[in-house]
């Protein structure tokens, strides 16, 4: 089994959490925060179906709003872009998006198993291409799209869409972290946060 914490250190990605307070906004006031990462804050809308996601990383903003973003079974549905509602300490604007609510991978479920296999495939490819430095993740992901893997066609298709997006938008893949892979209530694997900007 791979050591994810060690992997992130190796890749220069510390498990930092965004320090910013949630900006005051009529859609958010009084609603509970249910998730936070290095660049985003997730707030429950309260209807059981949707969340508000405050994204500060341009990579995430492109991923969720670009007309040619990856879409389909394994990517989150974005319902609305409510615009810029403040600025993060990093200097990037906070964009407020409304998207489908997703769930953490359920321990020992087939979806968690699939996610771990993908992370393993990706990790092996990264090891193989580690001498490329900054280009490693990008090339490793491309490599996965050209290698027959024991995964469904729809997941293989999602990897291709993600690789195309990474190439087009000059962002880097971030799928070595199980927090960035989530599931729907029906168990579908969703790439919830698969890219970052170096």
Q: Which residues bind Mg ion (CB under 5 A)?
A: 37, 180, 193
CB 74 within 8 A of CB 158: yes
In the shown chain, the binding pattern of residues 75 to 114 toward ligand ADP, with x for contact by CB under 6 A and - for none, equals -x----------------------x-xx------------
**3-state SS of 17-67?**
CCCCCCCCCCCCCCCCEEEECCCEEEEECCCCCEEEEEECCHHHHHHHHCC
Task: Give, as ranges, the residues between 121 and 150 that touch ligand ADP (CB under 6 A).
Answer: none
DSSP state of 103: B
Q: How far apart are CA 67 and CA 64, in angstroms?
A: 9
Which entry of Mg ion, ligand ADP, none binds 75, CB below 5 to 8 A by partner kind? none
Q: How far apart are CA 79 and CA 76, in angstroms?
A: 10
Task: Give, as ranges, the residues between 173 and 192 that touch ligand ADP (CB under 6 A).
Answer: 179-180, 192
Which entry of ligand ADP, Mg ion, none binds 36, CB below 5 to 8 A by partner kind? ligand ADP
| Contacts with ligand ADP, residue ranges (CB under 6 A) | 34-40, 42, 51, 53, 57, 60, 76, 99, 101-102, 179-180, 192-193
């Amino acid at each position: 089994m791979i050591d994810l914490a060690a992997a992130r250190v190796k890749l220069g990605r510390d498990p930092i959490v965004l320090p910013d307070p949630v900006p005051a906004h009529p859609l958010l006031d009084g609603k509970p925060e249910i998730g936070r990462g290095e660049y985003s804050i997730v707030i429950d809308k309260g209807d059981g179906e949707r969340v508000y996601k405050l994204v500060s990383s341009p990579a995430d903003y492109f991923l969720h709003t670009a007309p040619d973003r990856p879409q389909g079974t394994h990517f989150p549905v974005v319902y609305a872009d409510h615009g810029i509602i403040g600025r993060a300490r990093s200097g990037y604007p906070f964009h407020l998006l409304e998207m489908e609510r997703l769930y953490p991978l359920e321990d020992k479920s087939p979806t968690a198993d699939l996610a771990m296999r993908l992370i393993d495939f990706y990790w092996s490819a990264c090891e193989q291409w580690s001498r490329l430095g900054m280009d490693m993740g990008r090339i490793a992901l491309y490599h996965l799209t050209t290698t027959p893997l024991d995964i469904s066609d729809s997941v293989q298709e999602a990897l291709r869409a993600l690789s195309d997006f990474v190439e087009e938008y000059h962002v880097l893949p971030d799928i070595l972290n199980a927090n960035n892979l989530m599931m729907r209530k029906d168990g579908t694997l969703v790439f919830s946060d698969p890219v970052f900007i170096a």
